Amino acid sequence: MLLPFRDKWTAITGVTLALCCSTAAAQQRRTSPVKPQVVLYRHLFSYASFLESKAAEVEATGKNGAGIRNRLASEIGLNDQQRTFFAKIASEVDASLRAKEAEMRQVIATERAKYPGGRFTGSPPSVPVQLLKLGSERDAIVAAGIQRLQQQLGPEGFRLLDQYAQSRFSRSVKIPEKISSKPFTQNDFGTLP
């Protein structure tokens, strides 16, 4: 009679242990380490540019877009002078990033064109060195923008900005383990027209 109880107890203990382990693993995934500044700020600059474009759309209809334009700086807690510096730097960095990403898309399109239908003959190709170089240049643009922000906003202003970037984007930004020059796979190309 005791044996069925032990089996149930063993089963319950096993299920409980499995749930605890999966919960701990899920918690560890949720509390990911601090993301690299370059990645977070790339998203911050993009978000600032998005808000600026929405403000311009509202103003094109004859309405006041200042609330949208100043929203981010207000959330961060920047004063008027810091807000002006942030808007200028974010706009310039985002424009440079868009140009660099357009170059990257061109390299990707050229690489995809070599493999009609995403089909390889032989072994898959490596990641183009030019694409890796452009990715490094994109990161350098962001790093230079961060440095400019540190200089223009001062220690307290930049602390507020960095705190905002960490809290706002850290949870939602996913970072690949490492981008390497490993060969492309069929999945890297997606569905081609």
Reported as a single tens digit per residue, the pLDDT across 150-173 is 999 999 999 999 999 988 887 777
Structural contact between residues 171 and 43, judged by C-beta atoms closer than 8 angstroms:
no
Report the DSSP beta bridge partners of residue 183: 126
Residue 184 belongs to a domain: no
Structural contact between residues 158 and 98, judged by C-beta atoms closer than 8 angstroms:
no
Residue 1 belongs to a domain: no
Residue 130 belongs to a domain: yes
The SS3 assignment for 27 reads helix
Residue 29 pLDDT level (bands cut at 50, 70, 90) = very low
Separate counts of helices (H) and strands (E) for the chain: 6, 0
- Containing structural domain, residue 62: 33-173
Number of domains composing the chain: 1
Residue 163 belongs to a domain: yes
Residue 189 belongs to a domain: no
Q: Please state the φ and ψ torsions of residue 121, each to the nearest 5 degrees.
A: -110, 120
Tell me the per-residue pLDDT of 91-128, one tens digit each, with 9 for 90 and over. Answer: 999 999 999 999 999 999 999 888 888 787 888 888 89
Closest CA relative to residue 52, chosen from 38, 66, 63, 64 = 66
State the pTM of this model: 0.70
Residue 148 belongs to a domain: yes
